[in-house]
Amino acid sequence: MYVILTILWSLGACTNRGTESHQLTDNNEEEFIENLLKKMSLNEKLGQLNQRGTSSREKGKLSEELKQSVRNGNIGSMLNVMNHGNLKELQKIAVEESPNGIPLLFARDVIHGFRTIFPIPLGQAASWDANGVKKAAEVAAKEASSQGIRWTFAPMIDISRDPRWGRIAESFGEDPYLTSVLGKASVDGFQGDLTKEYNIAACAKHFAGYGAAEGGRDYNATYIPEALLRQVYLDPFKNAVEAGALTFMAGFNELNGVPVSGNKWLLNDVLREEWNFDGTVVSDWNSVTEMIPHGYARDKKQAAVRAIEAGVDMEMTSDAYAENLEDLLKEKTIAMDKIDEAVRRILRVKYRLGLFDNPYADLKEISSLSKEHLAIAKAVATKSIVLLKNEKEILPLQKNQKIALIGPLADAPLDQLGTWIFDGKKEESITLLNAATTSKSNTIYFEKTLDYSRDKKKINFKKAIRKAKKADIIVLAVGEEAILSGEAHSRSTLKLPGVQEELLQELSELNKPIVLVLMAGRPIIVNHLLDKVDAVVMGWHAGTMAGPAIWDVLTGSTNPSGRLPITWPKATGQVPMYYNNTNTGRPATSESVVLIDDIPVEAWQSSLGNTSHYLEIGRLPQWPFGFGLSYSDVSYSALTVKSKIQWGETVNASVKIRNLGKYPTTETVQLYIQDEVAELVQPVKVLKGFQQIQLGVGEEKTIQFKLPMSDLSYIGPNMKPRVDAGRFKLWLAPNSGESNPYKHFELMEK
């Protein structure tokens, strides 16, 4: 027996977003748009749907053709105009010379910082700190808007379960709840309440499913059953609508057979009709015309029909709309209503950004980075660092220890910035070497040894060994260059590239303590390296201030508090691997696992237990989602939850945590549940909340969580959220690892 609760996710369209000087309510906004729409010619309407790109490095004079297009009202938005003179000139032409003076909307990818670079989003997610993520977006908005940019293509809230996919670096990881929380923080940081001159439009991307690219190969097909799609992949996007994201981007991928740039069900039925999204949907770069190679359109004309019918309002860079919409209207293949609707949605975003009042940005050169922005970047970077192993308390480093700082990432000012940085400057980066040498607390023997992560020249190994011999401890900074993750940079193995492993091998033969500092856009396979190192620190690509942040963690000026936003695999062959998987009928346990070398010769086919695991590495990941150490252990005790919950009642749970170590620490208490029996099988664990708590030395705190009944819902067989009465498990735990204690509670029938 079960009782169904249909949850009405009332989403209310964003209200009161008019600029102050207009003093407009939503009605006035619509009135303004309708009046304008009436005055616009067909040519001008179609122009609004057109986003033209320029190369981000273009400095030269504007072409007459471009200026004339703006003058004619043939362009709605421009991508990557970074020259102040050009930007001003184009806006002046749009406002003063185009038929209705509709301002251009200037866009750019401002992904994890503009000039001041923050950790890659995956690193930011490891902070589990919404406030930090919000501040990072706010700083990025301030810097970008000072260059005339009013629209960023961020946050990227694609759920990513496969670290082979290079774009996992741009994501907030594998979990829909964490991604939703951080996605909202990011939208808040970029957009604020849209009243400040530096607020810029956010873009929730890539709608949707793009992170499930088959085999982690970028741009590949995605096959996601609807219940999983809604529960996992769409959830952060639904939350982005609620957070007020002004725009969405349709992804490159084909979703269950239909490219999303032509997917009416997704862009119209779900996004607009179910969720009431009234902002703009932009295509991805050429994704409208890419429906031709996908095999979903025979030519640009059909691609234009598919995209406009689906609900793509603005076409990024390709010209299927510009070339065909007018003819399609004449032929009556598409209706004028479709065009008007798309134009309205674009004007709405321009209106909400205050562009009609204030089309011109107050352009200022950024001569150097502001101290305030650098301090925020350092704080976010520090919180992103995850301590993964620390045997015999080898960390923190001791004052006066002689340190051999070795490896290609120890002084890699460009690579530490990570993927998708158009405007960051490597000259402004502070590397680990810079931070270590300026601190003067230790003698540093530095040897980069390899010029970059893929470098295969071992010529400097001897020098590294010589320096390591003089030191008390080796800090080995290895990983991936920035270019090895990001768009179109998928990897077939997650191992360290080049001869970095060999370098570690040679250093380990000295029998000195080794701290492995990883800087990469994804988890790196270290299973076979762990017995050679005493500590492992994941530093991601942590941005401009990566060096000081990592140094502070290594030396204990800051107690590390990062937690993994993804499951860290033991071997590439394990992926995709994620904590919120469903169970098999034969779940493996540590007792049931049989490893390859334990199989007797000529063993009988089914004599070995037949549970779900790999012969080489068993069933567990290297480190689970949510995992991270600090220099102080924390104990969890006295988990309580009422055993019977009445229908509609809130689930109250609490746990005691105590700092057992000698340093103040930050603990991220994570709440997971499992719905034990459901109409569609539910994951073994699902994150439903977390709190970051500061604990002084010896301090104990009781942490309370309140879970409304709607948080017990899942997407049922009719694709609607439902809650079933019955038994649940609840964990309040330091990570998603399997061995934590849990409590049962029973949700009573209605």
Question: Which active-site residues does the annotation give?
Answer: 284
Q: Residue 157 or residue 369: which is nearer to ligand BGC going by CB?
A: 157
Query: Looking at residue 557, what DSSP letter applies?
Result: S
Phi then psi dihedrals of residue 635, to 5 deg: -100, 150
Pattern 639-678, binding to ligand BGC, x per CB under 6 A?
----------------------------------------
Q: Binder to ligand BGC among 30, 326, 487, 502 (CB under 6 A)?
A: 487
Least separation in angstroms between residue 289's CB and ligand BGC is 13
Is the alpha carbon torsion for 581, 583, 587, 589 positive or negative? positive
Least separation in angstroms between residue 210's CB and ligand BGC is 8
User: Who contacts 489 (Cβ-Cβ below 8 Å, separation ≥6)?
Assistant: 166, 218, 419, 483
Q: Residue 153 or residue 165: which is nearer to ligand BGC going by CB?
A: 153
The DSSP bridge pattern shows strands 686-695 and 634-641 to be unpaired
Least separation in angstroms between residue 24's CB and ligand BGC is 30
Least separation in angstroms between residue 542's CB and ligand BGC is 21
N- to C-terminal Cα distance for the chain?
Answer: 11
Nearest Cα residue to 635 out of 538, 700, 585, 685: 700
Pattern 65-84, binding to ligand BGC, x per CB under 6 A?
--------------------
Specify the 3-state DSSP secondary structure of 163.
coil
Asked if 222 and 210 count as a contact pair (C-beta separation under 8 A), the reply is: yes
Phi then psi dihedrals of residue 407, to 5 deg: 120, 155
Number of residues that bind ligand BGC (CB under 6 A): 6
Least separation in angstroms between residue 280's CB and ligand BGC is 14
Q: Binder to ligand BGC among 29, 109, 143, 188 (CB under 6 A)?
A: 109
CA-CA distance, 590 to 573, in Å (whole number)?
A: 20
Q: Is 423 in the site for ligand BGC (CB under 6 A)?
A: no
Q: Is 233 in the site for ligand BGC (CB under 6 A)?
A: no
Q: Residue 29 or residue 284: which is nearer to ligand BGC going by CB?
A: 284
Specify the 3-state DSSP secondary structure of 470.
helix
Phi then psi dihedrals of residue 45, to 5 deg: -65, -45
Q: Which helix (H) or strand (E) holds 326?
A: helix 320-330
Q: Binder to ligand BGC among 44, 143, 158, 284 (CB under 6 A)?
A: 284
User: Who contacts 371 (Cβ-Cβ below 8 Å, separation ≥6)?
Assistant: none
Orientation of helix 64-71 relative to helix 84-92, angle to 10°: 40
Asked if 269 and 258 count as a contact pair (C-beta separation under 8 A), the reply is: no
| Neighbour-count burial of 308, counting CB atoms closer than 10 A to its CB (0-12 exposed, 13-18 middle, 19+ buried) | buried
Q: How many residues does the chain have?
A: 750
Pattern 285-324, binding to ligand BGC, x per CB under 6 A?
x---------------------------------------
How distant, in Å, are the alpha carbons of 156, 404, 445, 463, 465 from that of 469?
45, 8, 10, 10, 6
Asked if 736 and 626 count as a contact pair (C-beta separation under 8 A), the reply is: yes
CA-CA distance, 101 to 105, in Å (whole number)?
A: 12
What is the widest separation between alpha-carbon atoms in the chain? 84
Q: Residue 486 or residue 548: which is nearer to ligand BGC going by CB?
A: 486
Least separation in angstroms between residue 107's CB and ligand BGC is 8
Q: Residue 107 or residue 545: which is nearer to ligand BGC going by CB?
A: 107
Nearest Cα residue to 189 out of 35, 381, 380: 380
| Neighbour-count burial of 602, counting CB atoms closer than 10 A to its CB (0-12 exposed, 13-18 middle, 19+ buried) | exposed
Asked if 154 and 110 count as a contact pair (C-beta separation under 8 A), the reply is: yes
How distant, in Å, are the alpha carbons of 12, 189, 277, 591, 691 from that of 243?
11, 11, 11, 46, 20
* Structure tokens, 295: 């095999």
Q: Is 153 in the site for ligand BGC (CB under 6 A)?
A: yes
Query: Is omega for the bond preceding 155 within 30 degrees of 0, making it cis?
Result: yes
CA-CA distance, 610 to 612, in Å (whole number)?
A: 7
Q: Which residues from 172-211 bind ligand BGC, rule CB under 6 A?
A: 205
Query: Looking at residue 568, what DSSP letter applies?
Result: B
Least separation in angstroms between residue 105's CB and ligand BGC is 14
Q: Angle CA(723)–CA(724)–CA(728) in degrees, nearest 5?
A: 100
Torsion from C-alpha of 674, 675, 676, 679, nearest 10 degrees? -140
Q: Residue 109 or residue 415: which is nearer to ligand BGC going by CB?
A: 109
Specify the 3-state DSSP secondary structure of 96.
helix
Specify the 3-state DSSP secondary structure of 576.
coil
How distant, in Å, are the alpha carbons of 209, 214, 229 from that of 255?
7, 11, 10
How distant, in Å, are the alpha carbons of 392, 681, 727 from that of 677?
43, 7, 7
- What is the number of helices (H) and of strands (E) in the chain? 19, 26
Q: How many CB atoms lie within 10 A of CB 3?
A: 14
**Which residue number places its CB atom closest to ligand BGC?**
153
Asked if 436 and 500 count as a contact pair (C-beta separation under 8 A), the reply is: no
Residues at the contact surface with ligand BGC, assessed by CB under 6 A: 109, 153, 205, 284-285, 487
